[in-house]
Chain A
């Protein structure tokens, strides 16, 4: 299995992977609390970007509403914990199928009627917004006033209930990111992975070749949604407070997709590299502006937008394909 996964990958790439893993595993030892929070954000977005990439990168389906799955995961786990004392890992048994069902609902609406491209993207935003307004009025989860988890005590780490030091969340997210990376590689090498690529490249031709495009597109949405909801569970237990206005917000969806876009859509390294690049820029900008004493709201975001514009114009394929060509560490042609 491992041999099969590694075949076709340049030795340099494997070395890069090993170095990357070692760096990520040992970084927290050197990092201050502030740097640790940034690292957690990087891994959070790397994981979510990987999950999102299954849809656009593999199956060619643009989702702009992944906040929906984050929100469903976060609220399911938090509500079950607050109301019934059920731990987050057990909640996954409900959260993941729930998010997958929401994805299936969107997929069913869209794919049955050939709602494609832009219209599919709009539908994903609309359903996420629908959920946002809905949760704003759902009293069981605290409505717009928010849902709060008992504040974490840092004294000891309770892995079963996800109560503890940020360091614990860092390593959970690192494990999730590694798992997602390998999982996506497995998916790409599977029969379904090849079907997805066929659908992405030419859906008509794929259908003509006998691929059940409806079924495999549904699979892509459901897998991506289920994976994303885990990110939501972590979100809930890391931040300890949930507001529909934040969790389901469209800007949350946009943040998720920026990483893979900047890193390179459809590649395995892209979402990880994109998350590193974007968070580093964002934090660097914050520190720089703070140091210069500029304190006008929006300045930071403005530069962020400008840098995004620059990336789109200068490296339209994303940073990873450029990096891979430059240093000869290309992924195997999938």
Chain B
């Protein structure tokens, strides 16, 4: 049997990592909630951000946490242009056309990264990589704590933007009623581009933070795209707190499964959660009505 203090430490680490997963899933949730397009290149977009952070660290020794905002801004621009330049033309096309479009974009991203950076796993070594904080019996890794806090701050900023700014309200209007938004004169295409940009910024921020915790390879994308979906469905569609909660739950499950069973089998447990949620609460933990 694993001692209680180790169990607790691993659990806390899992929840903090899960917050970053939650931030990534939040990006997906925002894009799907508003634009109604399934971003099949979500995990791939995250790896772009990870490689930007990696390159900046390798070239100028810039800490990923310091570069969080600039990288998120760069990803915002990427997302905005992608939506305005390509995806907006597919909004009225059948769902499977959109799927194929984003799968094509995902393939292009993965292989461009593969050509540019090679297939090997890479990571950053920050000065505080092995620091930790002690709170009573609890020992928390500094990187995980910073990562979790950064994820909460970014998610909080996004929440405030959607609830209290005029643009945020307009975007929610586009999501609630597409025709209605057109009728009152909103430039829906522009708001869609803004939303996709915001979703990309979210996943960009998440990727930058995640680089502190994990190695990056060009082929990391699909697994994270799937993880983001599992989290969004678990947490509840269209619920921002739900995405974070779902992220924490998945992070916790993976950490405990890695400790108690074997790390390589950890993703089986997040899929098991997904199946349980679909069985007993198909609308998701924080979701309001059936999906």
Give 9 nearest A-B pairs by CB, closest first: A298-B114, A305-B107, A298-B111, A113-B282, A302-B111, A305-B108, A308-B104, A309-B104, A130-B271
Given A115-B278, A299-B115, answer yes or no on A125-B226 (Cβ-Cβ < 8 Å): yes
The smallest beta-carbon distance between A129 and chain B, in angstroms, is 6
Q: Does A114 lie within 8 Å of B100, measured CB to CB?
A: no
The answer to whether A8 has its CB under 8 Å from any CB of chain B is: no
Cβ of A250 within 8 Å of any chain B Cβ, yes or no, is yes
User: With an 8 A cutoff between CB atoms, is A207 at the interface?
Assistant: no
Q: 0/1 per residue, B89-108, Cβ < 8 Å to A?
A: 00001011101110111111
Q: How far, in whole Å, are A236 and B100 apart by their CA atoms in the complex? A: 28
B32 touches A118 (CB 8 A): yes
Within 8 A of A (CB), among B215-255: 218, 222, 226, 229-230, 233
In whole angstroms, how far apart are the Cα atoms of A313 and B110 in the complex?
20
Known: A129-B271, A250-B222, A312-B100. A304 touches B107 (CB 8 A): yes
Give the size of the chain A interface in residues (CB under 8 angstroms).
43
Q: How large is the interface on B (under 10, 10 to 19, 20 to 34, 35 or more residues)?
A: 35 or more
Q: Which of A25-33, A133-141, A155-163, A182-190 lies at the interface with chain B?
A: A133-141
Q: Does B4 contact A (CB under 8 A)?
A: no
- B110 near A301 with CB under 8 A, answer yes
Contact, CB under 8 Å: A133 / B233 = no
Residues of B near any A CB (own CB < 8 A):
32, 38, 93, 95-97, 99-101, 103-108, 110-115, 118-119, 218, 222, 226, 229-230, 233, 262, 264-265, 267-268, 271-272, 274-275, 278-279, 282, 290-291
| A113 adjacent to B111 (CB under 8 Å) | no
For the residues of A in contact with B, the DSSP-based class is helix
A114 close to B290 (CB less than 8 A): yes
0/1 interface trace, chain A 237-269, chain B, CB 8 Å (1 if under): 000000000000011001000100100010000
A129-B115 CB under 8 A given contacts A62-B95, A109-B275: no
A72 within 8 A of B: no
B218 pairs with A115, CB closer than 8 A: no
* Extra contacts besides A126-B275, A254-B103, A305-B111 (17): CB < 8 Å: A113-B278, A113-B290, A115-B291, A118-B95, A121-B99, A129-B226, A130-B271, A133-B264, A136-B265, A250-B222, A261-B96, A297-B118, A298-B218, A308-B103, A309-B101, A312-B97, A312-B104
A301 to B115, CA, bound (A): 10
- In the complex, chain B residues whose CB is within 8 Å of the CB of A117: 95
Please, which residues of chain B bring their CB within 8 A of the CB of A302? Answer: 107-108, 111-112, 115
A-B contact pairs, 29 of them (CB 8 A): A62-B96, A62-B99, A115-B278, A118-B95, A122-B230, A126-B230, A126-B274, A129-B267, A130-B271, A133-B264, A136-B264, A136-B265, A137-B262, A137-B264, A144-B264, A254-B103, A261-B96, A261-B100, A296-B115, A297-B115, A298-B114, A299-B111, A301-B107, A305-B106, A305-B107, A305-B111, A308-B103, A308-B104, A308-B107
Q: B268 — which chain A residues lie within 8 A by C-beta?
A: 130, 133-134
Binary CB contact string for chain A from 5 to 20 against chain B (1 if under 8 A, 0 otherwise): 0000000000000000
A residues 275-334 touching B (CB-CB < 8 Å): 296-299, 301-302, 304-306, 308-309, 312-313, 316
Q: Which of A72-102 contact B (CB under 8 A)?
A: none
Q: Kindly provide the distance from the CB of B104 to the nearest chain A CB, expressed in whole angstroms.
A: 4
Residues of A within 8 Å of B105, CB to CB, are 305, 309
A137–B39 CA distance with the chains assembled, in angstroms: 31
Is A126 a contact partner of B226 (Cβ separation < 8 A)?
yes
Contact with B along A103-133 (1 / 0, CB 8 A): 0000001100111011101110111011001
Q: Does A56 contact B (CB under 8 A)?
A: yes
Task: For the complex, give the distance between the alpha carbons of A68 and B213 in Å.
Answer: 31
Question: Interface code A45-84, partner B: CB below 8 Å = 1, 0 otherwise?
Answer: 0000000000010000010000000000000000000000
Contacting residues, chain B, for A301 (C-beta < 8 A): 107, 110-111, 114
Report how far A269 CA is from B269 CA in the complex, Å: 40
Contact A126 B271 (CB under 8 A): yes
Interchain CB contact (< 8 A) of B96 among A125, A250, A265: A265
Alpha-carbon distance between A99 and B264 when the two chains are bound, in angstroms? 25
